[in-house]
Amino acid sequence: MTAGSKVMEILPAIDIKGGKCVRLYQGDYDRETVYSESPTEVALHWVEEGASRLHVVDLDGAKAGSPVHLAIVGEIASASPTPVQLGGGIRGVATARAAVARGIDRVILGTAAVEEPALVDELCRELGGEAVVVSVDARDGQVMLQGWSRASGVTASEVLKQVESAGVRRFVYTDVSRDGTLTEPNFRAIEELSRQTGLKMLVAGGISSVDHLKRLADLEIEAAIVGTAVYTGDIDLREAIDAIQGH
């Protein structure tokens, strides 16, 4: 890490499906592992382990096209002393407002950012660029839509150029083919995207060791989102946070 650069955050992912905390394999809704009946208890556990922010995804909302579990998300936000960002089904101003009203401090747009660029403009004006995050979920270079079920036909870099001009400050990059696989991040794609944009970058997908986190920190990524690995124990969140702070 270069002198004066900010320490990379490590954000535990809390994916909600059927009201439970789950993990999917490669984004496949039919290949889930349930880790807890209570997403709120999981959230508080990660806060105790040192998480400075929580990354929550409403998987049912992503598929349905509007949030399904806002009550649970609101419970997490009110119980957690740390900020919470939410993705999954936020495809309109009303749903974004509803999320913010529940205590969410960042809303994450995926499908809507590609299909309705005017919505990104509107939300940046209303909520501010810091509160709007764009999720770029890619498979074989193409951005995936609707809970990763449909290819958009556009590339990640094309989407980023579009949203940067709207005032968005950061984006989440996920390599769908690596998500939940405990393999490794797509470092080549991450490096390429970080060179192509001035936006702050959060990375998800395939992160399964502290070494992966250190490599991402060296690329000056703003945050790494870790899912499966912190649930299986491949990464100990507290130890990982300490390791990156000392890196």
Q: Is the pLDDT of residue 145 over 80?
A: no
Helix/strand/coil percent split, the chain, to 5: 40, 30, 30
pLDDT tens digits for 28-85? 889 999 999 999 999 999 999 999 999 999 999 988 989 999 999 999 999 999 999 9
**63-79 pLDDT tens trace:** 898 999 999 999 999 99
Whether pLDDT at 149 is above 90: no
**Average pLDDT score over the chain:** 91
Q: What total number of domains does the chain contain?
A: 1
Does residue 177 belong to any structural domain of this protein?
yes
Residue 3 inside a domain? The answer is no
Model pTM? 0.92
Q: What digits encode the pLDDT tens for the residues 9-18?
A: 999 999 999 9
Catalytic residues: 15, 137
- Whichever domain contains 19, its CATH number is 3.20.20.70
The answer to whether residue 86 sits within a structural domain is yes
Any domain includes 1: no
Residue 119 belongs to what domain range? 9-245
Residue 127: inside a domain = yes
